[in-house]
Amino acid sequence: MDKKFHTNLVVSSAPHIVTDQDTTRLMGTVLLALVPALAASVYIFGLRVLLLSLVSVIACVGFEYIWNAALKKTQTVGDLSAALTGLLLAMNVPSSFPIWQLILGDCFAIIVVKALYGGLGKNFVNPAITARIFLFISFASNMSTWPVTKLAGTDAVTGATPLAIIGEGAFDKAALPTLQQMLLGLRGGACGEVCALALIIGGIFLIIKKIISPIIPCAFIGTVFVIALIATGSVYQAVFHCLAGGVMLGAFFMATDYVTSPKLPFGQLIFGIGCGLITMGIRFLGSYPEGVSFSILFMNICTPLINRWSYKVYLKKGGKK
């Protein structure tokens, strides 16, 4: 019995194989899905959008790196979630936004919203949305000065967003862009939110790749449509409301954030409907022209409650099959 055996093998619990879809791949796919919107934005507003995006991504990754290094934590910048937050925040500001203020927003998103609560997976509100609201409140005038694209064919350098025009008074078709212009993004607005078409392409890509579930975007956009239809009685205006403001960006990319949205499909449905309701409530009744960020933030905060409710529904059904 002088056989040589391998007696020091790795022993671990089953399963012994795992999917190659890890966190980095997921975040990377979402970044990829944002590329059409980013490209459209660069085309519409010029190269400054690219500059803002790069600065924001680098700043977010930088802040997370410094935080982890300073607190001697495991380095997590490789999971790309900070990069995603950076890009999303850049897409949520006007193309003329001052860079130092954007970096301050990045710092708020990464350090205050994410890291202080324990990092990825522990934050209870979406960092990019919360940072956008932080910037909106801190630098109100910079956050509501909307450069107008040269492609719109006017000489004005800045102008009001379509929703601000509606908020001022009646639905004046002459002063507003057409639906086609809304779809293509030839209008005032934040960098990433204007080109609805590019966002829809990105969103559908994510749904096909099974990165996100269609429940939240469908419930969100559907609710916006239905409420606008009831309130205005016009399909044109209802579609207009779906394309306007940050609905597409919010519905596909911000409300679907895993960490801050409900776990179960039933909860996700409630979450999406809630986002739509609050958005339209603010648009029609509130003093701000747009309410997508506030609606997502509010529903983020409601998520634990929605989870509790949906668990009850889930367990009533028997909790299986």
Partner 1 sequence: MSQGKHLPSIHVPHHKNTAGHETVVMPIPDVVKICMSQNIGAPCKPLVEKGDYVKVGQRIGDVDAFVSAPIFSSVSGTVIDIEQSRGSMGGFETLVVIETDKKQEVSEEVKVPTIETFEDFVKAARDSGMVGLGGASFPTHVKLNPKNLDECEYLVVNAAECEPFITTDNREMVENGQDVLDGMQMIMKFLDLKKGFIGVETNKPDAIENMRRLIEQNEIDNIEVVELPSSYPKGAERVLIYEVTGKTMDAGVLPAQLGVILDNVSTIGVMAEYFKTGMPIVRRRVTVDGDAVANPQNVYAPIGTQIADLVEFCGGYKKEPRKIIMGGPMMGRATKSDESVTMKNTSAVLCFGQEMAEVKEETACLNCQRCHTACPFGLMPSIYIEAYENKDLDTLQKFNVMQCMECGSCSYICPARRPLSFTNKLAKIMIKEATKK
CB of 209 to partner 1, least distance (A): 13
Q: Are 27 and 82 in contact (CB under 8 A)?
A: no
71 lines the binding site for partner 1 (CB under 8 A) = no
Q: Which residue has the tokens 């409650």?
A: 305
Nearer to partner 1, 17 or 70 (CB): 17
Q: Which is nearer to partner 1, 19 or 141 (CB)?
A: 19
Hey, which residues between 248 and 267 contact partner 1 (CB under 8 A)?
Answer: 258-259, 261, 263-264
Nearest to 150 by CA among 293, 71, 257, 46: 46
Q: How far is the CB of 306 from partner 1 (least distance, A)?
A: 13
Which of 50, 55, 76, 151 contacts partner 1 by CB under 8 A? Answer: 76
316 in contact with partner 1 (CB under 8 A) = no
Among 2, 16, 72, 155, binds partner 1 (CB under 8 A): 16
Q: Decide: 275 and 296 in contact? Cβ < 8 Å.
A: yes
In terms of Cβ atoms closer than 10 Å to its own Cβ (0-12, 13-18, 19+), residue 82 is buried
* Cβ at position 217, least distance to partner 1 in Å: 16
Q: List beta partners, residue 146.
A: 159
Among 9-17, 36-44, 105-113, 219-227, the segment contacting partner 1 (CB under 8 A): 9-17
How many residues contact partner 1, by CB under 8 A?
38
Cβ–Cβ under 8 Å, residues 296 and 253: no
Q: How far apart are CA 269 and CA 62, in angstroms?
A: 36
For partner 1, the closer of residues 225 and 271 by Cβ is: 271
Q: How far is it, in rounded angstroms, from Cα 54 to Cα 33?
A: 17
Cα–Cα distance, 43 to 49 (Å, whole number)? 9
Q: Is 233 in the site for partner 1 (CB under 8 A)?
A: no
Q: Which residues contact partner 1 by CB under 8 A?
A: 1, 3, 5-19, 21-23, 25-26, 76, 79, 119-122, 258-259, 261, 263-264, 311, 315, 319-321
